[in-house]
Amino acid sequence: MDVNPPIPIWSNLTGWSKLTAGTFILAWVFLVSCSEQMDPLIQKANEEWVQGRNHSAIEMFNEVLKKYPTGPLAEEALFRLGEIHHFSLNNSSRSLVYFQEVLQMNRKGEFGYPAQKYIAEIAEFGLKDYDQAIIEYQNLINQYADKNGNDDHQYRIASIYYKKQNYEQALVELEILLENYPKSSWAEESEFKIIEILYALSRCPEAREQYRHFNLEYSESRFKEDMDFVVASCLEEEGHLQEAYNRFKALEGHYIYPAILKMKLVGIEKRMKKKH
C-alpha cells in the first residue's frame, strides 16, 4: 500500500495569520496596558498603532528605545515593533528581528514568552520553515515549562512532522503528547491521529487495536465516522472485502466526503465480482 494517509488531514488550529484577528487582540492588549502605569510615550505609540497610524507608532516606539535602551519599556517597544511589522505591515522577516531582540534582552521577561510564540508561529505559518518551527516550538516547551499551552506546542510539532510526511516521527510526537499531557484538549484528536497514521504506515493490526481502545474511552467521539472509515480501509487493504464493504456502506449519509465513500464502495464491488 502506498503511504498515502486518508483524509481528513491536519488542520492549522493555532497561529496568528489574519490581520483582523491580530488587530483585535492587540487592541485589547493596548486597553489592558493602558490601565497600568507606563511611560506616556508608550501609551501614545500604542494609541497611534491601534488607530492604524503604523509609521507614526514606529517612530514613537523607536523614540522609546532611544530613551530606554534596556529594561521593561525597551522590551515592550521591541515587542510592539515586532507586532506592527507582522500584523500591520505584513513583514514577517522584519518582525522576527524584533522578537529575537526581545529574547536576547530578557527571555524571562513579560514579553519573552509571547515573542517566542510568535517566532514559532511565523516560522510555521508565515515562512513555512518547518524545521525551524519545530525547533522554536520545542524552545517554548523547554524554556517555558511553567506556562499553560505546552500541549498545544507539542501538537504543533506532531502536525509539522505530518506535513513533512515523516509519519513515524509524527507518531512519536503524538505519543509524547499523550504521555506528558494526558488531560490535554488535544488528547482525543491525538489518539485518532495515531490510528490514522498507523493506517498510513500499513500497520493495520495496530490501528484496529488502537481503535478498540479508542471506542472504549471516547464512545461519543466526534471522530467516529472518520475512525470507521480508517478501519474499513484497513479491512479492505487486508482483503476482508465484504466486512470492509459493510462498514463503508454503514457510513452512507454520515461521512463528510461522500464522493470518496462512493468510490470505495464501487471499487470493492468490482473486486468482489472478479472473485466470483
Q: Which pLDDT score is estimated for 34?
A: 41
Q: How confident is the model at residue 35 (pLDDT cuts 50, 70, 90)?
A: very low
Q: What is the mean pLDDT of the chain?
A: 89
119 Cα distance to chain centroid:
14
Of 234, 245, 232, which Cα lies nearest the Cα of 275?
245
pLDDT in tens, 185-240: 999 999 999 999 999 999 999 999 999 999 999 989 999 999 999 999 999 999 99
Buried b (16+ CB within 10 A) or exposed e, 40-71: ebbbebbebbbeeeeeebbebbeebbeebeee
Q: Which pLDDT score is estimated for 124?
A: 97
Q: Please tell me which residue, 6 or 178, carries the higher pLDDT value.
A: 178
Q: How confident is the model at residue 275 (pLDDT cuts 50, 70, 90)?
A: confident
pLDDT at 110 over 80: yes
Q: Please tell me which residue, 151 or 34, carries the higher pLDDT value.
A: 151
Q: How confident is the model at residue 62 (pLDDT cuts 50, 70, 90)?
A: very high
Annotated domain spans of the chain: 1-155, 203-276
Q: Is the peptide bond before 6 cis (omega within 30 degrees of 0)?
A: no
DSSP 38-52: --HHHHHHHHHHHTT
CB-based contacts of 143, cutoff 8 Å, min separation 6 = 107, 116
pLDDT in tens, 82-105: 999 999 999 999 999 999 999 999
Q: Which pLDDT score is estimated for 37?
A: 52
| pTM (two decimals) | 0.83
Q: Please tell me which residue, 26 or 196, carries the higher pLDDT value.
A: 196
CATH 1.25.40.10 applies to domain 1-155? yes
Least confident of 74-78, 162-166, 263-267, 270-274: 270-274
pLDDT at 29 over 80: no
CB-based contacts of 58, cutoff 8 Å, min separation 6 = 81, 84
pLDDT at 120 over 50: yes
Q: Quickly count: other Cβ atoms within 10 Å of residue 137's Cβ.
A: 28
Q: Which pLDDT score is estimated for 10?
A: 54
How many angstroms separate the CA atoms of 63 and 4, rounded? 54
Q: Please tell me which residue, 5 or 271, carries the higher pLDDT value.
A: 271
